[in-house]
Amino acid sequence: MPQKSNGQTKKNLPANNITQKNDTLIYALGGLGEVGKNMYCFEHENEICIIDCGVLFPGDDLLGVDYVIPDYHHLIRMNKKRKFLVITHGHEDHIGGIPFLLQQVKIDAIYAPRFAKALIHKKLSEYKGLENTKVIEIDENSSIKTKYFSLGFFNTIHSIPDSLGVLITTPNGSIVHTGDFKFDLTPVGTNADYQKMAYIGAINPDLLLSDSTNSAIEDFSISETKVANEINDIFRKTKQRLIVATFASNVHRVAQIIEAAIKCKRKVIVFGRSMENIVDIGRKMGTIHIKNSDLLSPEDLAYTPDDKICIICTGSQGEPLAALSRIANGTHRFIHLKPGDTIIFSSNPIPGNASSVNKVIDKLFRSGATVLTKSVLNNLHTTGHASREEQKLMLHLIRPRYFMPIHGEFKMLMLHKRTAMELGMPEESIFVCANGDILILRNHEVIQSNWRYQGDDIYVDGNDISGLFTAVLKDRRILADNGLVAVVIAIDSKVNKILMKPVIVSRGFVFIKDSQSLIKEAEYIVYNSLQEKMKEKITFSEIKNCVRSTLEPFLYQKTHRNPIVIPVIINSKQTMEELAAQRKNYRKKRFENA
């Protein structure tokens, strides 16, 4: 069921805040208050239009988590409604959640631009049962018409080809969704469709949803052409081996690097699974131009002169298992650094990754390599998202009556709101929402609803879409910080008797050899507590609780650490006799080795 927003009730909210049958509902299940897992929904009667379906990559605090995806429970509950998915472009934070969505929610149709379509097919081929999913290709001239929705598209500029903005027309008014965008007057690839945006602005759309990622950055972003010129200049001047690390998802940048290498008569080799996939798809799509004769195999590296080699790899964010980190650590199978190698970081560290990136850079310098990163002295990277001045230009072109900042952390959304207010938009016409909050579009007016849908995070381990609960993550953090203590207890439940003293085994808590007295004292305390408890009939659950409540305070008092305590109950006399013999042999060997 939908939840009340901010604890408010219908009694203290105006009647027009309550959703009505013919309203168009607008809400995000991901992408608000975060950079990632973008998913925006537009619902009218028995139809739901979904824009994008992405993932969020976890930080270091989410131990063992591979992806964070939106909570799809609202869409699952609405399975009787017709749902179609529209993709604005092919980055993981916009398409990465599609396999998980399709396994839980019936989607009638998926529409995606050309490059995104190829990436989606590649992704779905890795999931059994989804490999034949039909994806309908769209471009700036396409239109989608359903019972209640009509969608048109316009070209935008981003760091990946075929990036689209969307105009959504509903029975209650029109909405513009920019997707990820920037403005670049000398772009690499297709230019933005300024005329179509201006035309959309002329018809006075009711609501704009616009990318907020770079709300804190002043002025216009650097043109991608300037980055291309900088890379070309470095390639011309460098006489040794070149290694370039960048985002695999930045297809235009990868294409520029390859083009510069070919101009300088260098052969190209690509390392990193995601980079290899992008180059392969880019060549098939005609976005990346390189002949087979200009590509090196790993075996060819040893026989190719250094000044004829260009290595393109993943790892620009210091990821431990990425190609560049393995190169820096000397563990890469094919590449071993030499003094004089030049490593180019054509990227900026994502917030939170700076420490990891700096560690990799330090190792590269120690190997004798020359490392070039983006600085005030060069233009080795530019963003794919609009800065503040570009956001102003979008607002001027679209001229919406209402505005909802999207795709950004809360501070980014608030800064985007402030930008809109600087342009004269009334504060009450701007809605800074959280995932699950509902806006009502009713007869060309936008109203904040008094309801909200569940907008939680779902943590995915591997391809398991059941999700990890917060308790699981809490246990993982405790294991990482404090370790584990297992208590093996032998009982005979028929006579309600302990067969032998408990055996305590520790992993990641204390060094057993140096903590014999602590372990023996802990075993003694648990044994005495259980003997007292088992004077009366007792359940297995009560035995476990007795062990935890006795052992946890004792261990904290002695070590100021809180390991996970796991009681293991063996209810078999024969098994315990065998265990006692093993324990005796184990202690004998430990004494001999001490």
Evaluate the CA torsion angle 158, 159, 162, 166 in order and state its sign.
Answer: negative
461 in a labelled binding site: yes
| 158 labelled binding-site residue | yes
DSSP run (H or E) holding 432: none
Annotated binding residue 490: no
Separation CA 196–CA 155 (nearest Å) = 9
Q: Report helix angle 388-398 to 194-202, nearest 10.
A: 50
CA distance 437 to 28: 7
Q: 252: annotated binding-site residue?
A: no
- Yes or no: say if 264 and 293 are a contact pair by the CB < 8 Å rule: no
CA-closest candidate to residue 222, choices 183, 189, 166: 183
Residue 250 among known ligand-binding residues: yes
Strands 267-271 and 309-313: parallel
Tell me how far apart the alpha carbons of residues 568 and 547 are, in angstroms, rounded to a whole number. Answer: 10
**Sheet strands (E) in 302-417:** 309-313, 342-345, 370-372, 402-406
- Token pair listed for 201: 């602005």
Q: Is 280 annotated as a binding residue?
A: no
Quote the CA–CA distance of 222 and 71 in Å, as a whole number.
36
- Annotation-wise, does 89 bind a ligand? yes
Q: Binding site annotation covers 464?
A: no
Q: Among residues 60, 51, 122, which one has the least CA distance to residue 355?
A: 60
Sign of the dihedral defined by the CA atoms of residues 9, 10, 11, 17, in that order: positive
| 3-state percent breakdown (helix, strand, coil) of the chain, nearest 5 | 35, 25, 40
Distance of CA 456 to the CA centre of its chain: 14
* 382 marked as part of a ligand binding site: yes
Residue 277 annotated in ligand binding: no
Q: Which of 112, 149, 164 is nearest to 134 (CA)?
A: 112
Is 381 flagged in the annotation as binding? yes
Instruction: Count the neighbouring beta carbons within 10 Å of the beta carbon of residue 84.
Output: 18
Residue 72 and residue 29 in contact, taking contact as beta carbons nearer than 8 Å: yes
**Measured torsion, CA atoms of residues 403, 408, 414, 420, in degrees rounded to the nearest 10:** -40
Q: Is 64 annotated as a binding residue?
A: yes
316 is in an annotated binding site: no
Where is 51: in which H helix or E strand? strand 47-51
Contact 145, 175 (CB under 8 A): no
The single residue listed with the structure tokens 């149709």 is 109
- Is 354 annotated for ligand binding? no
Rounded CA Rg of the chain: 30
d(Cα 137, Cα 114) in Å, to the nearest integer?
Answer: 6
Q: What is the pairing mode between strands 267-271 and 342-345?
A: unpaired
Helix, strand or coil, per DSSP, at residue 455: coil
180 labeled binding residue: yes
Say what the alpha-carbon torsion angle 103, 107, 109, 111 is, to the nearest 10 degrees: -70
Burial 490-518, CB ≥16 within 10 A → b, else e? bbeeeeeebbbbbbbebeebbeeeebeeb
User: Which residues does the annotation mark as catalytic?
Assistant: 211, 385
Residues 6+ apart with CB under 8 A from 582: none
Q: Using an 8 Å Cβ cutoff, are 523 and 502 in contact?
A: yes
Task: Extract the annotated binding site for Ca(2+).
Answer: 64, 66, 461
Task: Extract the annotated binding site.
Answer: 64, 66, 89, 91, 93-94, 158, 180, 248-250, 381-385, 407, 461
Task: Extract the annotated binding site for substrate.
Answer: 248-250, 381-385
Task: Extract the annotated binding site for Zn(2+).
Answer: 89, 91, 93-94, 158, 180, 407
